[in-house]
Amino acid sequence: MFTLDGKVAAVTGGGSGIGKAAAILFAKQGAKVHIIDLSGTAAEQVAGEIISAGGNAMAHPCNVSLQQQVDAVFSNMEGLNILVNNAGIAHIGNAENTAEEDFDRLYQVNIKGVYNCLHAAIPIMKRGGGGAIVNMSSIAAIVGLTDRFAYSMTKGAVHAMSLSVARDFLADKIRSNTISPARVHTPFVDGFIAKNYAGKETEMFEKLSRSQPIGRMGTVEEVAALILYLASDEAGFITGNDYPIDGGFVKLNN
C-alpha cells in the first residue's frame, strides 16, 4: 500500500521541516521527487540525502512568490503526478499592529506562492491524465488564534483555493485536499522560541507542547504520513476535504 512507484512529485518548502519529511518519505515509496525551496543549499542537501539512500530527487532553488521562477522550474516536470504546496512563512500580530509590509509579505508567499504552483502544475497534470494536490493549511484557518491575523488570513485562503481546485478539475481527475496541522516540532518552532523567549526555551517549549490536548507537539514524520496517504492512489475517492492533524486541538480544546 501507498506505493508511489513511477510517480513524479513536487514539494515546495522541501528543504526543511514538514516538506523535507514528505520529500524523503515520497522517495522511499518510489517517487521521483522535485524539491523546491528558497534555499538552494537546503534543497540540495535533502536531494543528496535521498540520492544517498538510493532514491531519485532533484533540487530547485525557487522563490514561489515569483511566477516566472515557478514557471521555469515546473517547465522541467512533465509527467508530474503530485504537488505538495508546503512553502510558507509565519507572522505574529493582530489586525491593529500588523504592518502593511508584513501583510503583503505573507500574501506573496502563502497565497500567491500557492497560486503560482497550482497555475504551473495543473496543466501538466491535465496532460498526464490527473494528479493529487495536497495544500498545507493550518488550524489557524479553522479556529481563532491569538496574534495570528495575517497568517490566519493566508491559511484561510489556501483552504478556499484548494476547494475551488477540487471542484474545477474533477473531470480532469485532479484531486485537491488540505492538511491543517496544529503545532508541529520543526526548526522554525525552535528558532521562534529562541528569538522570542531567550533563556526560557525549555519552559516555553513545554508550554506550547501542552497547548495540544494530547500533551505534545506533532512530528514532521506524522504530518508526512498523512500527506503520503492523500497523495497516494489509496486516497483516490478523497477530494475537496481538509484534515486537521492537531492532537485534538480543534475538537477537544475547551
What ranges do the domains of the chain cover?
8-182+219-242, 183-217
| pLDDT of 72 | 98
Domain 8-182+219-242 sits in CATH at 3.40.50.720
Q: Which three cell numbers stand for residue 40?
A: 538552494
Torsion sign (Cα): 167, 169, 173, 176 = negative
Cell 525557487, located at residue = 62
Q: Which strand (E) or helix (H) includes residue 226?
A: helix 220-231
Helix (H) or strand (E) segment spanning residue 158: helix 149-168
SS3 label, residue 130: coil
Cα separation, 75 vs 221, whole angstroms: 30
The band of 44, judged by pLDDT with boundaries at 50, 70 and 90, is very high
* Beta-ladder partners of 138: none
**From 115, 151, 197, 243, the catalytic residue:** 151
Handedness of CA 59, 83, 143, 93 (dihedral sign): positive
Report pLDDT digits (tens) over 102-112: 999 999 999 99
- Distance of alpha carbon 152 from alpha carbon 94, whole angstroms: 10
pLDDT reported for residue 192: 79
DSSP for 9-69 reads EEEETTTSHHHHHHHHHHHHTT-EEEEEES-HHHHHHHHHHHHHTT-EEEEEE--TT-HHH
Lowest mean pLDDT among 37-41, 115-119, 198-202, 242-246: 198-202
Q: What is the CA radius of gyration of the chain?
A: 18
| Per-residue pLDDT at 10 exceeds 80 | yes
Contact 10/121 with Cβ under 8 angstroms? yes
The structure's pTM equals 0.95
Residue 28 has pLDDT above 70, yes or no: yes
DSSP codes of every residue in 160-187: HHHHHHHHHTTTTTEEEEEEEE--B--H
User: Active site includes 151?
Assistant: yes
For residue 244, what are the CA distances in angstroms to 1, 51, 59, 199? 23, 32, 29, 32
Q: To the nearest 10°, the Cα dihedral for 134, 126, 170, 35?
A: 0
Q: What is the pLDDT of residue 181?
A: 97
